């Protein structure tokens, strides 16, 4: 509220009758006030404001309030926006529960547990999970130095958006067992490959692949692997093709012949250990719908990479990142 309006309000209070005073007291006591989540989100936005319409970074004009959020107007394109415009949290309701949902993501809670934790319906818990995870899934880290890349496989699940009512699990057997490789480069229709690439500083990139061909591998690695990196992979030709095309040094490891480490430095053991942690953690969901697999990869990556993965605000602020600018960071 504007300072001048507030002064008017204070003067009006002096004119209240006894019953009106009591009623005003009750209204104040039950008013929810500004949720902590909103304070955190607006603070983060104000620290580095950017117009979601034209990307202007000059501080915008303040433009009143709407829907419990500060409004701004861009000095360049003159459109109005708030801290959540263009993010996947825009127009999501019950802001007072968002930090609790951040706690649920930090703890890796099931949909039902998260719903109970936040006092929201199961449908809300489902919708929020994927709204909160959209931006983390789209965020890309740049990889440099020695980069290990390898695929891991998940069981394909056509679990539709309506099947969540039966819990997190699709029908049928559980996810692909760890250590069980897809039959060479042939891909069973039951399997979905996910590529994980990780450098020795821990920067991590992940992508769900349409297939195991050079084009798919290149589309996943091209935007994130530095030109002077050294790529370690198994002997699959797709990696050699990608490296040759981009002029990147390639160190294939002949896993099939029992080679694990070459020259003391070239191996894919870090990325394979990451696969193991990812699979172990994913076990709690009893298989996930393939269409949402990128969200789970981003969820796990954020758990591993965020400076404070157990803090609720980590998940709130990650969820409110603009999706269109999810480039290397």
Q: Which positions touch Zn ion (CB under 5 A)?
A: 51, 53-54, 56, 74, 76-77
Residue 76 Cβ vs Zn ion, minimum distance, rounded to whole Å: 5
The nearest distance, CB 77 to Zn ion, in angstroms, is 3
Q: Give the chain's end-to-end CA distance (angstroms, integer).
A: 37
Work out how close the CB of 52 gets to Zn ion at its nearest, in angstroms, rounded to a whole number. Answer: 8
Please state the three-class secondary structure of 70-132 as a single string: EEEECCCCCCEECCCCCCCCCCCCCHHHHHHHHHHHHCCCCHHHHHHHHCCCHHHHHHHHHHH
Least distance CB 175 / Zn ion (angstroms) = 44
Nearer to Zn ion, 83 or 225 (CB): 83
Nearer to Zn ion, 51 or 196 (CB): 51
Q: Which is nearer to Zn ion, 66 or 77 (CB)?
A: 77
* For Zn ion, the closer CB: 51 or 221: 51
Convert 116-148 to b/e letters by CB count within 10 Å (16 or more is b).
ebbebeeebbbebbebbbbbbbbbbbebbebbb
Query: What is the smallest separation between the CB atom of 75 and Zn ion, expressed in angstroms?
Result: 8
Provide the CB-side half-sphere exposure for 81 (13 A, CA): 26
Using DSSP, state whether 63 is helix, strand or coil: strand
**CA dist., res. 151 & res. 167, Å (int):** 28
Nearer to Zn ion by Cβ, of 53 and 127: the residue is 53
């Amino acid at each position: 509220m504007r300072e001048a309006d507030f002064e008017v309000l204070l003067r009006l209070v002096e004119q209240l009758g006894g019953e009106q005073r009591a009623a005003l007291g009750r209204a104040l006591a039950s008013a929810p006030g500004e949720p902590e989540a909103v304070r955190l989100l607006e603070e983060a936005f104000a620290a580095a404001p950017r117009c979601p319409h034209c990307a202007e970074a000059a501080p915008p004009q303040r433009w009143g309030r709407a829907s419990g959020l500060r409004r701004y107007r861009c000095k360049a394109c003159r459109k109005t926006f708030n801290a959540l415009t263009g993010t996947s949290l825009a127009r999501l309701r019950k802001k007072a529960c968002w930090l609790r949902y951040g706690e649920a993501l930090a703890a890796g809670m099931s949909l039902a547990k998260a719903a109970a934790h936040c006092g929201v319906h199961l449908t809300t818990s489902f919708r929020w999970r994927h709204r909160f995870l959209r931006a983390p899934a789209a965020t890309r880290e740049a990889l440099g130095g020695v980069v290990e890349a390898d695929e891991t496989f998940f069981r394909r699940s056509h679990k539709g958006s309506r099947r969540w009512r039966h819990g997190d699990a699709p029908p049928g057997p559980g996810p692909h067992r760890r250590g069980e490789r897809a039959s060479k480069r042939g891909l069973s229709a039951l399997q979905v490959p996910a590529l994980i690439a990780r450098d020795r500083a821990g920067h991590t990139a992940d992508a769900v692949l349409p297939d195991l061909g050079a084009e798919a591998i290149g589309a996943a690695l091209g935007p994130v692997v530095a030109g002077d990196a050294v790529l370690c992979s198994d002997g699959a030709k797709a990696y050699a093709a990608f490296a040759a095309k981009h002029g990147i040094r390639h160190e294939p490891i002949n896993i099939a012949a029992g080679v694990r480490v070459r020259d003391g430095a070239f191996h894919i053991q870090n990325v394979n250990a990451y696969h193991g942690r990812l699979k172990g953690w994913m076990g709690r969901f009893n298989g996930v719908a393939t269409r949402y697999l990128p969200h789970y990869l981003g969820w796990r990556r954020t758990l591993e990479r965020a400076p404070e993965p157990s803090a609720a605000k980590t998940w709130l602020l990650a969820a409110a990142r603009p999706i269109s600018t999810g480039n290397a960071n």
